Amino acid sequence: MANLAELDIYLEHLCEALGHMDRRASLKDYCKGLMLPIARKSVEPLAAHIEPIRVRARHQSLHHFVAKSAWSDNAVLASVCDHVKPLLVTDTGHYWIIDDTGFPKKGKHSVGVARQYCGQLGKQDNCQVAVSLSLATELGSMPIAYQLYLPKDWASDPERRAVAGVPEEIAFATKPEIALEQLRGALESGTPPGVVLADAGYGDDTGFRDGITELGMLYAVGIRPATTVWAPGTAPLPPKAWSGRGIRPTRLRREVGNEPVSVKALAMSLPSQAYRSVIWREGSNTNLSSRFAAVRVRPAHRDYLGTEMRAEEWLLIEWPEGDVEPLKYFLSTAPDDATLEQIVFVTKMRWRIERDYQELKQEFGLGHYEGRGWRGFHHHATLCIAAYGFLTMQRLKHPGAKKNTAEPKTPGLPNDYVARGSRASAASCV
Go through the chain and tell me how many residues it has. 430
Of the listed ranges 87-96, 135-144, 257-266, the one predicted with least confidence = 87-96
Of the listed ranges 124-138, 168-182, 236-250, the one predicted with least confidence = 236-250
User: Does residue 7 lie within any of the structural domains?
Assistant: yes
Same domain for 375 and 314, yes or no, is no
User: Does residue 212 lie within any of the structural domains?
Assistant: no
Q: Is the pLDDT of residue 427 over 50?
A: no
Same domain for 100 and 140, yes or no, is yes
- What's the Cα-to-Cα distance from 414 to each of 36, 159, 292, 294, 300, rounded to whole Å? 17, 42, 59, 62, 65
Same domain for 36 and 176, yes or no, is yes
Cβ atoms of 266 and 298 within 8 Å: the answer is no
* pLDDT score for 419: 53
* pLDDT score for 121: 83
* pLDDT score for 359: 94
Last residue of a domain, one of 345, 374, 389: 345
Same domain for 155 and 48, yes or no, is yes
The residue with greater pLDDT, 421 or 38, is: 38
Same domain for 101 and 181, yes or no, is yes
The residue with greater pLDDT, 2 or 399, is: 399
User: Does residue 420 lie within any of the structural domains?
Assistant: no
User: Does residue 419 lie within any of the structural domains?
Assistant: no
Residues 6+ apart with CB under 8 A from 286: none
* pLDDT score for 425: 34
Phi and psi at 107, nearest 5°, equal: 80, -170
* pLDDT score for 397: 87
Distance between CA 17 and CA 72 in Å, rounded? 8
User: Does residue 99 lie within any of the structural domains?
Assistant: yes
Same domain for 366 and 297, yes or no, is no
The residue with greater pLDDT, 133 or 426, is: 133
| Number of domains the chain contains | 2
3-state SS class at 358: helix
Same domain for 332 and 367, yes or no, is no
Distance between CA 297 and CA 194 in Å, rounded? 23
Distance between CA 100 and CA 353 in Å, rounded? 9
Same domain for 124 and 224, yes or no, is no
Q: Is the pLDDT of residue 428 over 50?
A: no
Same domain for 7 and 60, yes or no, is yes
User: Does residue 290 lie within any of the structural domains?
Assistant: yes
Cβ atoms of 97 and 349 within 8 Å: the answer is yes
Same domain for 37 and 123, yes or no, is yes
User: Does residue 415 lie within any of the structural domains?
Assistant: no
Share the mean pLDDT of the chain.
Answer: 89
Percent of the chain with pLDDT over 70: 92
Same domain for 66 and 191, yes or no, is yes
**Which sign, positive or negative, has the C-alpha torsion 84, 90, 96, 100?**
negative
Q: In terms of residue numbers, what domain contains 286?
A: 218-235+259-345
Residue (of 198, 110, 155) closest to 380 by Cα position: 110
For the segment 20-41, the average pLDDT, to the nearest whole number, is 93
Percent of the chain with pLDDT over 90: 68
User: Does residue 412 lie within any of the structural domains?
Assistant: no
Predicted TM-score of the model (pTM): 0.89
3-state SS class at 48: helix
Same domain for 272 and 139, yes or no, is no
